[in-house]
Amino acid sequence: MKKIIKPEKKEWSEILKRPTQSFESIEETVISIFSDIKRNGDDGVLRYSSIFDGVELTNFFVSKEEITAAENMISDDLKEAIKIAKQHIEKFHIAQKTSKVVVETVEGVVCWQEKRPIQKVGLYIPGGTAPLFSSVLMLAVPAKIAGCKEIILATPPTKKGKINPAILYAANLCGITKILKVGGIQAIASLTFGTETIPQVYKIFGPGNQYVTAAKQLATKYGVAIDMPAGPSELLVVADETANASFVASDLLSQAEHGIDSQVILVSTSKTKLEAIENEIEKQILNLSRKKIAEKAIENSKLIYLETKETALELINEYGPEHFIICTNDNDFYIDGVQNAGSVFIGNYTPESAGDYASGTNHTLPTNGYSKAYSGVNLDSFLKAITFQKISKKGIQNIGNTIELMAEAEGLDAHKNAVTLRLNSLK
C-alpha cells in the first residue's frame, strides 16, 4: 500500500481516485452488446454467454430438479448459517415498513401517500471468482417483503451450465424460482429489453464488475431503473492509537480479496498505529487463499496519515466510502460528522464482514463516491411512493383562488379555468 503523510488538500482528489475504468472506456463494448441483444433476443444472449462464460446453454432457466438437487450439495451447517442470516436481514428490513401518511393541508383538502411494490424486478448476483449467495439474501428478502410480483434472479453459470448450489439454496429459501443462467452485460441487456424467453423488468438490482455497472447505467437510457451504480468493492478505515492493528488489517484485506479492482484506504491520526497495521497486512496476506487478488487490490490502496481528526473527517467525506469502519477513542465524533458513506461499522468488534453476511443491514451499497447522493439498497428501493388527494366543495373554495392566481401568472389559462368552472358551479 502506498503510504502518504499529511497530504495537502489540493492533492486529495488525485490521492482518492478509484482504480476503475471510466464508463467511456468500456461504453462501446456495452452499447454493442445491448444493440445486438435488443435486435436478436435469445440468439444474442446465447452467443455472448458462449463468448464470455464459455457455456453453450440449452435452457436459460434453472430447472426445479436443479434447485432440489442443490439442497443436498451444501452442508447442513451452511444451510443453517444462511437461514440465520436471512432471519436477521428480514428483521431489519421488516422494521423499515412505514404506514400511510395522511394530512389535511387545509379544511377540505386531504393529501396522502401510500407505497406500492415495483411489480417486476431483476436481481443480479455475481458468480465469477466468488459466487455471492449472500447477495441473494440481500436482494430477495426485501423484494419479497415489499411484495414485488415478478422477481427474476440472474447469475453467471459455470462452463457446464451449472449455478453454485448455495446460490440456488438461498434463492429457493427466499421463494425465488425464476433463476436465469446468464451473467455479465448480456444478463443486464436481456432484463432491460426482454427476449423471447426472458421477461423484461422495471428495475435492476445488484452489484457487479465494471462491465455490469456500465450495463446497468446504460439500461437507464432504455427506461429501466437501477438501484445505484454499484461497482467494485471499497473500504475506508479510520483508526487512532486505540485501534487493534490486527483487526483493522483483517478488515482491509477482507475487502481487498473481493477483486483486483477493489480499493481499501486506511486513514490514521497515529503514525505508530499506521505502521503497525501495515505490518499486520504484510503478515496476514501471506495466508489468504485469494492472496494474488488481494495483492493486486492492495496496489490500488493507500495508508494516509493526518494530524487531526477534523482533517481526517473532511477527507473521509470527500472520498465517500462504500464501507466505513471507525476504530477510535472518539467514535461519536465520526458518527455525528460523517455525511457520505454507504454503511458504517463502529468499534473494534464490528467487522465489515458482519454487514456483508449476517448482522441484518444490506450489503448492496453505492461505490465510487456515489454515497454522496445514493443510499444503499433498503426496503424502499423495491417500493414506489404514490400520492393521493381528495378535495371537497369546501376544499376547492379554500384553495381555488390561490390556484387561479398562480396559473394566471404562469400563463396557463386552462389550468385556471379547471378551477374557475368548479368555483362558479358552487355559487
| 88 is annotated as contributing to ligand binding | no
Spatial distance between the Cα atoms of 407 and 169, rounded to a whole number of angstroms:
58
Q: Say if residue 186 carries a ligand binding annotation.
A: yes
Cα-based distances in Å from 54 to 32, 43, 99, 159: 19, 15, 48, 5
Instruction: Please indicate if the annotation marks 87 as binding a ligand.
Output: no
Find out whether 93 is annotated in a ligand binding site.
no
Please indicate if the annotation marks 258 as binding a ligand: yes
Catalytic option among 234, 323, 352, 363: 323
Is 113 annotated in a binding site? The answer is no
C-alpha 38/C-alpha 33 separation (Å) is 8
Q: Hey, is 284 helix, strand or coil? A: helix
**Cα distances (Å, whole numbers) of residue 101 to 117, 345, 355, 385, 386:** 17, 32, 31, 11, 11
96 is in an annotated binding site: no
Q: Is 322 one of the catalytic residues?
A: yes
Question: According to the annotation, is 389 in a ligand binding site?
Answer: no
Distance CA 357, CA 55 (A): 30
C-alpha cell at 420: 374557475
The active-site residue out of 234, 257, 280, 322 is 322
Strand partners, 263: 234
Q: Interhelix angle for 23-40 vs 210-219, to 10°?
A: 60
Whether 202 contacts 225, CB under 8 Å: yes
Active centre residues (catalytic): 322-323
- As annotated, the binding site for substrate includes 233, 255, 258, 323, 356, 410, 415
Q: What residues are designated binding site?
A: 124, 186, 209, 233, 255, 258, 323, 356, 410, 415
Residue ranges for the known binding site for Zn(2+) are 255, 258, 356, 415
**Residues contributing to the annotated binding site for NAD(+):** 124, 186, 209
